[in-house]
Chains A and B, each alone.
Chain A
Amino acid sequence: DAGVIQSPRHEVTEMGQEVTLRCKPISGHDYLFWYRQTMMRGLELLIYFNNNVPIDDSGMPEDRFSAKMPNASFSTLKIQPSEPRDSAVYFCASSLRYRSNYGYTFGSGTRLTVV
């Protein structure tokens, strides 16, 4: 299995531009999570999906952020318009089932820099 695949690995964009981050979860995993990592706030959950349905988006910072999961093998996190404070590493993770002792499998993250 190729694991959780995220793209791009690095993204540099100008303030005000739209940014789309992509994630392919592990086949068969029914939970998908988006996390953001910054020095100031650490790892924080943005949103998670169960069977492609958004369950909890309370961590999405603002209306500028949106996430979709059109099918079981693909999810996107979009920021429009982007701001310098959005600079962070964004992780996608997937899980076979919740509250299991398998934990999550994380992707390698996308480092976003907004200038």
Chain B
Amino acid sequence: AQTVTQSQPEMSVQEAETVTLSCTYDTSESDYYLFWYKQPPSRQMILVIRQEAYKQQNATENRFSVNFQKAAKSFSLKISDSQLGDAAMYFCAYQGSARQLTFGSGTQLTVLP
């Protein structure tokens, strides 16, 4: 079974600075998708960014980018120019041949003014 590990339960960043959230996963599959979801206090799960495993190029969405290291099974999220609205719980998720998403335990991000 696939597992997703987020080793940082909590992180903090100063407003306008850059922060990187870590995620590792374990799988024997070669074709899969990886996601980062954001859950603010409203508890709505919001898709932040996605990455296809067959693509070597790292995905980017505005201030959000990933560092995807397939051999190392690592998928970190970088948030540039952090804003107060970025404060939330961030979940890394894996989707392989099974339909469901497997989530990590989450990283609570605090943005300091």
Contact = CB atoms under 8 A, between A and B. Distances in A.
Which of A93, A101, A103, A108 has the largest count of B CB atoms less than 10 A from its CB? Answer: A103
Contacts of B102: 45
Contacts of B91: 43
Interface residues of B, number: 23
A99 B43 CA distance: 25
B62 interface: no
Interface string B81-113: 000000000010001011111111110000000
A89 B95 CA distance: 22
A61 interface: no
Contacts of A108: 42-44
Interface residues of A, number: 24
A106 B44 contact: yes
Contact of A91 (B45, B50, B95, B100): B45
Contacts of A42: 103-106
Which of A43, A45, A56, A102 has the largest count of B CB atoms less than 10 A from its CB? Answer: A43
Contacts of B101: 33, 45, 103-104
Nearest to B96: A99
Nearest to A46: B100
Interface string A78-114: 0000000000010101010011011111101101000
A50 interface: yes
Given A101-B50, A103-B35, A31 B99 contact: yes
A105 to B, nearest CB: 8
A55 interface: yes
Contacts of A104: 45, 47, 101
B85 to A, nearest CB: 18
10 contacts: A33-B100, A42-B106, A48-B99, A56-B98, A98-B99, A101-B50, A103-B47, A103-B101, A104-B47, A108-B44
